[in-house]
Amino acid sequence: MTMAALPTVGLMLGDPTGIGAEIVCKVVAAGELPVEARWVVVGDARHLDLGMRDAGVRIDWRGWPSLERIDWSDRALPLVDLANIDPAGVERGAASAEAGRLSGETLAFMIGEGQAGRLDGICFAPLNKGALFRGGWKYHDEHQMFADLTGHRGYYGEMNSIEPFSTFRVTSHIALREVTQWLTAERLDAALDLAHTSMQGIEVERPRIAVAALNPHGGEGGLFGDEELTLIGPAVERARARGIDARGPFPSDTLFLKARAGQFDAVLTMYHDQGQIATKLLGFGQGVTITAGLPTVFTTPAHGVAYDIVGQGRADPGAMRSAMRRAAQLAAAAVRRRARQAARTDPHHQESRP
């Protein structure tokens, strides 16, 4: 059967010590899996079962030996069972290096499937970063892990999406004293390009991108800091010359009042806390974190494993639902982009999938 291609998105249930499986099951059982994608759970059947028990729901699912073997006409949610995580052997509500090691293993398998063209996106429930690290996945954050495992060499970055805007960062998990040495013209250009294409990926055709200043009051005309004049302002001008609706730089303490009021679709920040202070105040629970710029789409809720409420059935699935929606949107956009590229190469091309 030839059909317009739907992207395939893999669902990963998160660290088994946390609330991940519960919130995934709540969204699935409510019939809220976005229809713009085909969905498959990759993980362990026992972990999915635990999620259903936590959520107090039943899900119609069926196991398959591999992604290639799935019959997508089957109405049951497919599961590729790695049989690697037995939640009965894991203490819940506390960090576990072993759980981190196994979670990383599941992610690495899914990334391999993405590399092989069998997954367009990966939507994962909350992980425990410290557990991943102690479990042997020695990265500063999961974005670095994904970039490394996908063999990505170009620019990539973390995107945080809340209502009504998204944030991007030029620098992230580095010491504040090192921020200025990473603010280069090249990185600013790449970050603005990535913000522009990523916003188009979530269906904002001509995103209004506000660029944050680095210094207080935007440096007050060079009185305290001149990066706005020498570096950030020129990058905004270059972006505009490329057709990107970039604006600023704006002093960061009032910028988020404007973004909250709907004046911008995206904000490009210069350092981690500049954006995170605002986004966490504006909607911590509902935010989505996206790894932008990699060949495979990655999304996850911005919140964590919530050990204080594990196993109580009280976890709010709102951010998980949003993460799934973003994954479907971005993966569909990536499939369309690849189809356009293929069509330019071969005008008779029509992407098809079994």
Q: Where on the chain is the footprint of its own copies (CB under 8 A)?
A: 140, 172-180, 214-217, 219-220, 223-227, 251-254, 256-257, 260, 271-274, 276-278, 280-282, 284
Minimum separation from the CB atom of position 143 to its own copies (A): 13
Distances (CA, A) of 211 to 168, 255, 327: 10, 9, 25
Cβ-based nearer residue to its own copies, 165 or 256: 256
Minimum separation from the CB atom of position 47 to its own copies (A): 27
3 state DSSP class of 256: helix
Cβ-based nearer residue to its own copies, 254 or 352: 254
Q: Distance (Å, rounded) from C-alpha 41 to C-alpha 188?
A: 37
Is 307 exposed, middle or buried, given 0-12, 13-18 or 19+ CB atoms closer than 10 A?
middle
Select from 84, 114, 109 the least CA-distant residue to 99. Answer: 84
- Planar angle of CA 115, 119, 121, nearest 5 degrees: 105
DSSP structure class, residue 125? P
Select from 76, 121, 92, 69 the least CA-distant residue to 21. Answer: 92
Cβ-based nearer residue to its own copies, 215 or 300: 215
Minimum separation from the CB atom of position 261 to its own copies (A): 11
Minimum separation from the CB atom of position 24 to its own copies (A): 24
Cβ-based nearer residue to its own copies, 216 or 313: 216
Cβ neighbours around 173 below 10 Å, total = 13
Minimum separation from the CB atom of position 276 to its own copies (A): 4
Cβ-based nearer residue to its own copies, 244 or 306: 306
